[in-house]
Amino acid sequence: MASNKITLASILFLTIFTYSNAKLGYLKEIELTVYYQDYSGDQNTTVIEIPGPSIRPLNFSSSGWVLHRVMMSVVFIDGEYKGSTIEIYGNDPRSGQREVPVVGGTGKFRLARGYATFETLYFDPVRSHAIIQSNMTILHY
């Protein structure tokens, strides 16, 4: 009786596994490098700061840090990945090279996962302008 249950469970697992591979295909890995130009001080602003809570001023001096979040959609408008997107969301410590998770995507990047590293190559505080390089490793079907 126990042998029949194990056999049935094995057949069920293999059926589900085979179906998911047939439906989605095999997992592919790609590496992309993207450059961003951030402007935050004039009419051509490409990034915005989201205001904090309005209930009371926050005192970060006791903890010694401020939390930054990256919420980004990389949208491909032409080429091989036209109409696809990559969704990036995570913590940004704002120092040196940062690593942020890739949490999803659409089109050719459906069910994407992976990571993106960000490195600031140039920063001009007077013009509020930065050039940031992002290297992404993405797994998708």
Q: Looking at residues 41-61, what average pLDDT do you find? A: 66
Whether pLDDT at 37 is above 70: yes
pTM of the model: 0.67
Q: Could you tell me how far CA 85 lies from the centroid of its own chain? A: 10
- Give the pair of three-digit tokens for residue 7: 């056999």
**In the chain, which ranges are continuous DSSP H helix?**
2-24
- Name beta bridge partners: 36: 132
Q: Please choose, from the candidates 138, 27, 141, the residue with its C-alpha nearest in 3D space to the C-alpha of residue 74.
A: 138
pLDDT confidence of residue 35 = 92
Q: Looking at residues 4-19, what average pLDDT do you find? A: 63
pLDDT confidence of residue 68 = 73
Confidence of residue 27 (pLDDT cuts 50, 70, 90): confident
Q: What is the 3-state composition of the chain as percent helix, strand, coil, each rounded to the nearest 5?
A: 20, 40, 40
